[in-house]
Amino acid sequence: MPPNPPPGSARSPLPRTARAVTTALLGVLALLTACLSAVVTAVPAAAAGLTQVSSFGSNPGNLAMYEYAPAGLPANAPVVVALHGCGQSASDYFANSGWQKYADLWGFALVLPQTSSANNSLSCFSWFDPAKDTRGKGEAASVVSMVGHAVTQYGSDSRRVYVTGLSAGGGMTANLLADYPDVFAGGSVGSGLPAQCATSQTAASGCQYGSLNLTPAQWGDKVRASYPGYTGPWPRVAIWQGASDYTVYPVNATELRDQWTNVWGIGQTPSSTQSLPGNTTLTTYNDGSGKPAVQMYSIAGMGHGLAVDPGSGTEQCGATGAYYLDTICSSYYTARFWGLDSGSGGGTGALPAPTGLKVTGTTGTTASLSWTAVTGAASYTVYRAGTKVGTSTSAAYTDSGLTAGTSYAYTVAAVDSAGTVGAASGAVTATTTGSGGGGSGQCFTATNYAQVAAGRAHQSGGYTYANGSNQNMGLWNVFVTHTLKETAAGYYVIADSGCSA
C-alpha cells in the first residue's frame, strides 16, 4: 500500500501508466477486504447443523445457499442473512461469527450465502460490480431468492428479514439494503463499504483506502437511485468499524453513517454516545419517533475483521481466528438493535409498547424515568442503548452509576406474568448533569489541522479523529472544518449541525 499524501495534497484517482494500472489492479485483488495475508480456500460447509440447499430458485449470481434453524422454530420468526468475507466460507462464518448462538437463544433462522473462486478469484462477494450487486441482477438477486425460499420453508415473518456481512460481505450488505429496502428491515455492515461506492474493480481501491469526498446527500442519492420511486420504510443500519483498519479505512464508516442518516432524513448529529466493552464507542442516530435508526460502533485499536468476544455470557459470542477479532460481540449488539431478543426493538410478546416514556430528572450519576402503565404488565424491563440495565414493578425507574455530562438513550418494555417481554417503547435521551469530570461543554469550530494542533483531535493515516469518541472527521488538512463539543474531560464529539453548551 503506498504511503498517504501529505495533508492537503492532491492524489490522482487512477495511475497514469500501464504498469501503474497493473500494479493497482493487483493491489485491489490482494486487498479486496478480508484477504490481506491469510487467504483460505472456500470449502463446502461442514459445521454442525448447517445444511446446503441445492435448489432455492433463480440463481443468476451462481451462489451456494446454506441454512440453519434451531429445533422448534416457531412460525413468523425472523430471518438473518449472513455474508462471509473474502476467502471465507459459509461454514467459517457460521462457526466463528456467533450468530448460531443467538438463533438458538432467541429463535430465528439463518441463511448463509457462499460465493466461490468461480465468481471472484479471492471468493469475494462482488460489491463493486453493477452486473452483480444491483436490484434484480447477479449475486444480489440470488440472495433475495434465498430469502424467499427460507421465508416459505420456515413460515417466517417477511417483515423481519435482516442482512449482515463482513468486509466484501459488508459491502454487499450495504448494496442489498439499498437495492431491496422492501425485503430487508435492517442491516449490519462490518468493516465494509457504503452502498454503491464503486462501480468497477479498478475503482474499488479508492473506496477501501480513502474518501470519495461526497456530501451526505450525494451518498444518500446512491441509495435512492438503487430502487427509484421507493418511499419507505428504510432499513435500520448498524455500522461496525475498527479504528485501526488499514484494509477498509475508517472513513468508510463515516460515509456509511452519512449515507444512511441522509436516507432517513435525520442529519449527522448523534442522538447519544456511549462507551461499550472492548474499547467500543457507540454513536446512535434516532429517527423522528426517537427510535434508533442508525448506529455506529467504532472500536479503538481494532484492525480489519469481525468483532467477537468468546465466552459463555449472554453478551459474549464467537471464536477468534483470521479476521475474527477478540473485542466485543458484534452479533449480540446487532441482534438487540434489530429487536431479535424480543425486547429491544419491536418484541413478539402480547403486551403493547409502553407510552409516555419521559425523563423525570437527572443528576451527575443518575437518570430517572417514568411511563404510562400497561394493563396486564407484571413488571417492566429497562434498556439503555439497547442493553438491559434493570427491571421495575412500577412505571418508573432510576438508572445509576452513570457518567456526568453524558447522554444516554432509554427504552422500556412491559413483561407479562409468564415472563414474556412485549414490544419496546420509543426512545428518550437523558443527559446527566455536570461536565463529565472536567468536560467544559464548550464547542470549538476549526479546521482539522487546527483541531489536532489544539489537542482536541488526532490524526492517523492522513485522517483526523476526534479525541475520546474517535469519530472520523475526514482528511487531516486546512481545508476541512468541523465543530467539536467537549462532552467530558478530553472527550469530543462532532457537533456540526448545532452545538449548545
Tell me what pLDDT residue 463 has.
81
Band of pLDDT at residue 439, cut at 50, 70 and 90? low
For residue 41, pLDDT beyond 50: no
Where do the DSSP E strands lie in 225-271?
Answer: 236-242
Would you call 167 a catalytic residue per the annotation? yes
- Other beta carbons within 10 Å of 429: 16
- The shares of helix, strand and coil residues in the chain, as percent rounded to the nearest 5, are 20, 30, 50
Which segment of 56-65, 78-87, 166-175, 358-367 scores lowest on mean pLDDT? 358-367
Mean per-residue pLDDT for 106-129? Answer: 95
Which segment of 145-149, 326-330, 465-469 scores lowest on mean pLDDT? 465-469
176: which 3 cell numbers?
442489498
Tell me what pLDDT residue 289 has.
82
162: which 3 cell numbers?
435482516
Cα separation, 70 vs 52, in Å, equals: 15
Residue 381's DSSP bridge partners are 391, 413
For residue 470, pLDDT beyond 90: no
Tell me what pLDDT residue 420 has.
73
Tell me what pLDDT residue 375 has.
85
Name residues whose C-beta falls within 8 Å of residue 301's C-beta, 6 or more positions apart in sequence: 242, 243, 244, 279
CB 361 within 8 A of CB 328: no
Q: Which residue has the higher pLDDT, 499 or 228?
A: 228
For residue 72, pLDDT beyond 80: yes
Task: Tell me if residue 20 falls in helix, strand or coil.
Answer: helix
Residue 95, CB-side half-sphere exposure with 13 Å CA sphere: 15
Phi, psi of 64 (to 5 degrees): -100, 145
CA distance from start to end of the chain: 42
Give 261-307 pLDDT, tens digit per residue: 999 999 899 999 999 999 999 999 998 888 899 999 999 999 999 99
Percentage of the chain surpassing pLDDT 90?
A: 59
Cα separation, 128 vs 138, in Å, equals: 12
For residue 346, pLDDT beyond 50: no
Cα separation, 130 vs 42, in Å, equals: 24
Give 181-206 pLDDT, tens digit per residue: 999 999 999 999 999 999 998 899 99
CB 243 within 8 A of CB 279: no
For residue 138, pLDDT beyond 80: yes
Cα separation, 356 vs 147, in Å, equals: 37
Band of pLDDT at residue 16, cut at 50, 70 and 90? very low
* Helix H or strand E segment including 372: none
Band of pLDDT at residue 18, cut at 50, 70 and 90? very low
The pTM score is 0.65
Band of pLDDT at residue 486, cut at 50, 70 and 90? confident
Tell me what pLDDT residue 1 has.
30
- Residue environment code for 197-232, b if the CB has 16+ CB neighbours within 10 A, otherwise e: bbeebbebbbbbbbbbebebeebbbbbbebbeebee
Q: Is 321 exposed, middle or buried (0-12, 13-18, 19+ CB in 10 A)?
A: middle
What is the average pLDDT value for the chain, to the nearest integer? 84
For residue 9, pLDDT beyond 70: no
Find how far residue 60's CA is from the centre of its chain: 28
Cα separation, 380 vs 406, in Å, equals: 24
Kindly name the residue from 142, 145, 156, 167 that is annotated as catalytic.
Answer: 167
Tell me what pLDDT residue 189 has.
98
Q: Which residue has the higher pLDDT, 353 or 207?
A: 207
Band of pLDDT at residue 45, cut at 50, 70 and 90? very low
Which segment of 210-224, 274-288, 309-323, 428-442 scores lowest on mean pLDDT? 428-442
Tell me what pLDDT residue 435 has.
58
Strand bridging mode 367-370 / 457-460: unpaired
For residue 27, pLDDT beyond 60: no
Tell me what pLDDT residue 7 has.
24
Cα separation, 457 vs 470, in Å, equals: 8
Tell me what pLDDT residue 47 has.
45
Tell me what pLDDT residue 459 has.
82
Q: Which of 42-51, 53-62, 450-459 is most confident?
A: 53-62
Supply the DSSP symbol for 254.
Answer: H
Task: Tell me if residue 94 falls in helix, strand or coil.
Answer: helix
Cα separation, 282 vs 299, in Å, equals: 9
**Helix intervals (H) in 305-421:** 330-338
Name residues whose C-beta falls within 8 Å of residue 114's C-beta, 6 or more positions apart in sequence: 42, 45, 63, 64, 65, 66, 84, 89, 90
Band of pLDDT at residue 488, cut at 50, 70 and 90? confident
47: which 3 cell numbers?
459445521
Band of pLDDT at residue 38, cut at 50, 70 and 90? very low
